[in-house]
Chains A and B, each alone.
Chain A
Amino acid sequence: MTEQMREPTYLVLAALAGGRQHGYGVMQDVAALSEGRVQLRAGTLYGALERLVRDGLVTQDGEQVVSGRLRRFYVLNPAGTRALAEQTSQRQATVKVAVRRLRALGVQA
């Protein structure tokens, strides 16, 4: 079993699963897919992105300058897709157990 990723890293992978994005796009997508619960800040985002690029899960894919601002794009590569699938399965298994236990306590989740 692979090591559990930290939530910001997992969310960055999940955002990139939606397609090629630049840094600010990833930030907005993470906020949207977590329903506003997680607002990534630039330091955290680039810390996670650098680790993911270094670990070979995400690839840098071109850049452009918009209104004088540099934008670099990132894509999820096959290794990243596999890692996201593994992490999602692990989380699903944990959620299943938690839901079952909550039901046993009479709580609907």
Chain B
Amino acid sequence: MNLERSYRRLLLAYPSRWRDERAEEVLGVLLDGAEARAAHRPAVAEAIDLVGHGLQARAGLTVRLLDERTRELTAVLALASLTALSSLCLFFGEWWPWPQQAVPGPDIQVAAFPGTPGPFLTAGGPLMAALLVPALLVVMGWPRAARVMLVGLVPVTVALTAVAPLLDVNRPALWTLCGLLAFSALALLAPVRRPALLAALAVGLFIALAYAVVADLDPSYDPRPNFYYGYLLQLLTRLVPLGVLAAVAVAGGWRAVRPRAW
């Protein structure tokens, strides 16, 4: 295959807007380099470099379609929601000491989930506890550490979702994990500032507390072990990932209908 055509194919990894601005220039550099090496096809390392940076540019361009204030607001609300949702799940879904008389027969946690590693109801307990830490780090004035921890927790959440069924370990409901993942990813859109987070946390934790009071007042409501399948929680954790998908689809569609140079 023609060398120039091979490079053009590799450059397809970049978004069309980037290619409109840069492709001819980068192509010139690539062809100059190939000529100097007397190469007839792109080197493997070169191909990996182009595709990797192209995909990074695609991700970056999608993020940059949102203006800075929108990104900051989204990140603050996502981190506050992540903290509130993780608190709810940790307390209600994993640990809440419900009165024994509300539970028919033997301990329903053990009956419903044999083999649970404990002290939590599912393997999601330690994850929920870890997900509270990023907000704490921001409040303590370490926003960079919070971002690093969020980046680390995304693959942990994905791994827990994928590996738990294989190891026969119980995990929280899939939609709950998807919601937590979506909140974690959205919280990475921009650095989060302490005053904004404190305000958002106050609202988020108030909603969590209100949920707790309503659940406690209703004698027929036994969230254990059905907490993860409660109507409100399912609605929340389904709406958020769907919202993210819709936003990505709109952004992708907008880029697709733009005229392209090649």
Q: With an 8 A cutoff between CB atoms, is B5 at the interface?
A: no
In chain B, positions 134-164 with a C-beta closer than 8 Å to chain A are none
Digit string of B28-51 for contact with A (CB within 8 Å is 1, else 0)? Answer: 111111000000000001100110
The 6 sampled A-B contact pairs (Cβ below 8 Å) are A23-B26, A42-B33, A43-B50, A43-B52, A46-B53, A63-B25
Would you call A24 and B28 a contact (CB within 8 A)? yes
A69 touches B52 (CB 8 A): no
Asked whether B27 is an interface residue with its Cβ less than 8 Å from the other chain, the reply is yes
Residues 51-91 of A contacting B (Cβ, < 8 Å) = 63, 66, 69-72
Asked whether any CB of chain B lies closer than 8 Å to the CB of A27, the reply is yes
> Cβ of B54 < 8 Å from any Cβ of A?
yes
List, in ascending order, chain A residues with CB within 8 A of B50's CB: 41-43
In the complex where A44-B53, A46-B22 touch, is A70 in contact with B45 (Cβ < 8 A)?
A: no
**A: interface residue count bin:** 10 to 19
9 new A-B contacts at CB < 8 Å, known A43-B52, A46-B22, A46-B26: A27-B33, A42-B26, A43-B50, A63-B25, A66-B28, A69-B32, A70-B25, A70-B27, A72-B25
Q: Which residue of B lies closest to A41 (CB)?
A: B49
Q: Is B6 an interface residue (CB 8 A)?
A: no
Interface membership of B68, Cβ < 8 A: no
- Chain B residues lying within 8 Å of A22, measured Cβ to Cβ, are 29
A41–B26 CB distance below 8 A? no
Could you tell me which residues of chain A, from 9 to 33, have a CB within 8 Å of some CB in chain B?
A: 22-24, 27
A24-B32, A24-B33, A27-B33 are known contacts. Are A69 and B49 too (CB-CB below 8 A)? no
Check B45 against A71 for contact (C-beta < 8 Å): no
Structural contact, B46 and A69, CB atoms closer than 8 A: no
Contacts of B22 in A (CB 8 A): 46
- Answer whether A23 and B29 are a contact pair too, CB < 8 Å, given A41-B45, A41-B46: yes
Which residues of A sit under 8 angstroms from B62, Cβ to Cβ?
none
Q: Which residues of A contact B33 (CB under 8 A)?
A: 24, 27, 42
Chain B proximity of A100: nearest CB distance (Å) = 29
**Is there contact, CB below 8 Å, between B31 and A43?**
no
Q: What residues of chain B lie closer than 8 Å to A70, measured between beta carbons?
A: 24-25, 27-28
Partner of B25, one of A23, A27, A44: A23
> Looking at A27, A41, A43, A45, which has the most chain B CB atoms within 10 Å of its CB?
A43
Please name the residue on chain B nearest to A26 by beta carbon. B29
- Check B56 for interface membership: any CB of A closer than 8 A: yes
A42 in contact with B56 (CB, 8 Å):
no
Q: Which of B22, B54, B56 has the most CB of A within 10 A?
A: B22
Provide the bound-state CA to CA distance between A66 and B35, in Å.
Answer: 14
- Give CA–CA (A45, B49) in the complex, Å: 10
Q: Are B53 and A43 in contact (CB under 8 A)?
A: yes
Q: Kindly list the 4 A-B residue pairs having the minimum CB-CB distance in the complex, ordered from nearest.
A: A43-B53, A69-B28, A41-B49, A43-B49
Given A43-B54, A46-B22, A24 contacting B49 (CB threshold 8 A)? no
Considering only CB atoms, which chain A residue lies closest to B53 in the complex? A43
Q: Give the distance in Å from the alpha carbon of A66 to the alpha carbon of B24 in the complex.
A: 12
Residues on B with C-beta less than 8 A from A45 are 29
